[in-house]
């Protein structure tokens, strides 16, 4: 008697493999979307904690912290995050910073040294999870990560002391500036119409236009913001030309210098960043940026977290002398959300 042998033919095996490949191809995007949704949710929750921290700080001190200031040892370098530490569960780190310390045989006064991004002072190197958005790259181009910035509003020129100390204090249009502490009462446009903080992201390196900063673009990037906008290829996500690209954004939570922990509301979300000069601490465009598709999160003055589309109305970005902006913002709904007292009505966004 003969017995037939049962098994798969080559064609049947290839069909099974093809079906499995198709199923994986269909499932993988869904898995990636689910993971990004979880990362985006965590990013939003981090911003809620920071918004709550700002309000708790205001309840205690009667003002919001400065964006850039400090004590006698680092009066022009420290960021507002140092003052906020006790308000987002970093009390032990704040206690360490606010007391005398010795590292590497060097004695430090309370609140560290003049450079909150170097030397032997170890607290500046501390990783703080609530300041990191999991959607952004986690490569440390410098010493730490920070993916949320204090808003200087629709201000480009006077958001840094490197232009003028006095005007940097007076003319910043947003809630945070150099040695400047605003109150809720100063947000006369309304807390629900004013951005306190926005996302920023870390560069992937190279000429990445998200997280990178194109240096040395001249005063035109202030007077004509669109000149920065066209310096990047949105399709490739890279800067054009050969000018030097810095990876300083989102790299030092303790540093209050404009490139590290600042956003402004001129160019719409996920636009490129450009500086006037070669120094990354100089005036320029520092837009809200994220790795989320289509926009980025912001914290409003009432503590609410909103996702803002990168297609939001940004008004007139063409050539004009905008070093001093008064009254209504020329940058549409986006600029109006940044200014604290421009007497604008933003409506839905």
| Per-residue pLDDT tens digits for 66-82 | 988 877 666 678 899 99
Residue 53's pLDDT is what?
Answer: 96
Is 293 part of any domain? yes
Does any domain span residue 212? yes
CA proximity to 237, closest of 272, 267, 285: 272
3-state secondary structure of 287: strand
pLDDT of residue 99: 92
Tokens of 102: 């010795």
pLDDT category, 292, cuts 50, 70, 90? Answer: very high
Is the confidence at residue 43, as pLDDT, over 70?
Answer: yes
What is the pLDDT at residue 12? 73
Instruction: Say whether pLDDT at 277 is over 60.
Output: yes
Q: What is the pLDDT of residue 8?
A: 63
pLDDT at 3 over 60: no
Average pLDDT in the 220-233 region? Answer: 91
Q: Any idea which residue has 């929750």 for tokens?
A: 45
CA distance 80 to 64: 9
CA dihedral 156, 157, 163, 169 (to 10 degrees): -80
Pure H helices in the chain: 10-61, 81-84, 91-97, 165-170, 220-223, 226-229, 258-261, 332-338
Q: Structurally, how many domains does the chain consist of?
A: 1
Structure tokens given for 164: 């003028």
Is 344 contained in some domain? no
For residues 320-346, give the mean pLDDT: 83
- Tokens representing residue 191 in the block: 């807390």
Burial of 91 (0-12, 13-18, 19+ CB in 10 A): exposed
Question: What mean pLDDT is predicted for residues 129-143?
Answer: 91
- 162 in a domain, yes or no? yes
Q: What is the value of pTM for the model shown?
A: 0.88
89 in any annotated domain: no
Taking the C-alpha atoms of residue 345 and residue 190, their distance in angstroms, rounded to an integer, is: 9
What Rg do the C-alpha atoms of the chain give, in angstroms? 23
Secondary structure letter of residue 85 according to DSSP: G
Residues 6+ apart with CB under 8 A from 116: 70, 74, 77, 78, 79, 82, 124, 252, 254, 255, 256
Q: What is the mean pLDDT of residues 15-30?
A: 78
HSE of 228, CA atoms in CB hemisphere, 13 A: 35
| C-alpha span between 129 and 342 (Å, rounded) | 35
Residue 211 confidence (pLDDT) above 80: yes
Least trusted range by pLDDT, from 38-42, 181-185, 265-269, 276-280: 276-280
Q: CB atoms < 10 A from the CB of 328, how many? A: 16
Cα–Cα distance for residue pair 68/74, rounded to 1 Å: 10
Mean pLDDT of 125-149: 92
Which has more confidence, 93 or 25? Answer: 93
**Which two three-digit tokens encode residue 124?**
């500046």
Cβ atoms of 221 and 243 within 8 Å: the answer is: no
pLDDT at residue 36, as a whole number: 78
Tally of CB atoms within 10 A around 251: 24
Mean pLDDT, the chain, integer: 87
pLDDT of residue 91: 92
Is residue 245 a contact partner of residue 280, using CB atoms and an 8 Å limit? no
Q: Considering the domain boundaries, does residue 16 fall inside one?
A: no
Q: Which of 59-68, 197-206, 312-321 has the weakest average pLDDT?
A: 312-321
Average of per-residue pLDDT across 238-262: 89
- pLDDT-derived band at 241 (thresholds 50, 70, 90) equals confident
Note whether residue 119 is domain-resident. Answer: no
- The neighbour count for residue 165, using CB atoms within 10 Å, is 13
- The pLDDT tens digits of the residues spanning 94-122 come to 999 999 989 888 888 888 887 766 678 89
Residue of 31 and 327 predicted with greater confidence = 327
What SS3 class is residue 173? coil
DSSP for 155-189 reads: -SSTTSTTT-HHHHHHS--SSEEBTEE--GGG-TT
CB 236 within 8 A of CB 123: no
Distance CA 91, CA 56 (A): 14
Distance CA 289, CA 210 (A): 7
pLDDT at 297 exceeding the cut of 90: yes
Q: Which domain holds residue 215?
A: 23-65+128-338
| Residue 11's pLDDT band (cuts 50, 70, 90) | confident
Confidence label for 248 from pLDDT (cuts 50, 70 and 90): confident
Considering only residues 10 and 250, tell me which one the structure prediction assigns the higher pLDDT.
Answer: 250
């Amino acid at each position: 008697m003969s017995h037939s042998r049962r098994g798969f033919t080559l064609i049947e095996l290839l069909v099974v493999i093809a079906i499995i490949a198709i199923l994986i191809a269909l499932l993988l995007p869904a898995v990636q979307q689910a993971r990004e949704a979880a990362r985006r949710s965590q990013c939003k929750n981090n911003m809620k904690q920071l918004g709550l921290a700002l309000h708790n700080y205001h309840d205690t001190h009667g003002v919001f912290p400065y964006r850039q200031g400090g004590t006698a040892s680092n009066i022009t370098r420290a960021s507002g995050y140092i003052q906020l530490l006790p308000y987002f569960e970093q009390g032990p780190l704040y206690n360490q910073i606010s007391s005398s310390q010795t590292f590497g045989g060097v004695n430090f006064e309370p609140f560290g040294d003049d450079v909150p991004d170097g030397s032997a002072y170890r607290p500046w190197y501390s990783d703080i999870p609530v300041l990191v958005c999991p959607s952004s790259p986690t490569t440390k181009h410098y010493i730490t990560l920070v993916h949320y910035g204090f808003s200087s509003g629709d201000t480009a020129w006077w958001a840094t002391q490197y232009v003028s100390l006095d005007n940097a204090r007076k003319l910043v249009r947003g809630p945070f500036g150099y040695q400047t502490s605003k109150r809720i009462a100063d947000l006369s446009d309304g807390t629900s119409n004013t951005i306190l903080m926005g996302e920023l992201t870390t560069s992937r390196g190279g000429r990445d236009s998200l997280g990178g900063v194109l240096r040395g673009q001249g005063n035109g990037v202030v007077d004509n913001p669109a000149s920065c906008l066209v310096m990047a290829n949105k399709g490739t996500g890279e800067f054009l030309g050969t000018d030097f690209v810095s990876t300083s954004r989102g790299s030092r939570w303790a540093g209050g210098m404009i490139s590290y922990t600042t956003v402004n509301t001129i160019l719409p979300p996920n636009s490129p960043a450009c500086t006037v000069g070669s120094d990354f601490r100089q005036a320029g465009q520092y837009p809200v940026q994220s790795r989320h598709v289509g926009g980025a999160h912001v914290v409003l003055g009432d503590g609410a977290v909103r996702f803002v589309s990168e297609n939001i109305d940004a008004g007139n970005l063409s050539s004009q002398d905008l070093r001093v902006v008064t009254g209504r913002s020329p940058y549409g709904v986006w600029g109006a959300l940044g200014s604290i007292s421009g007497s604008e009505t933003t409506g839905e966004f």
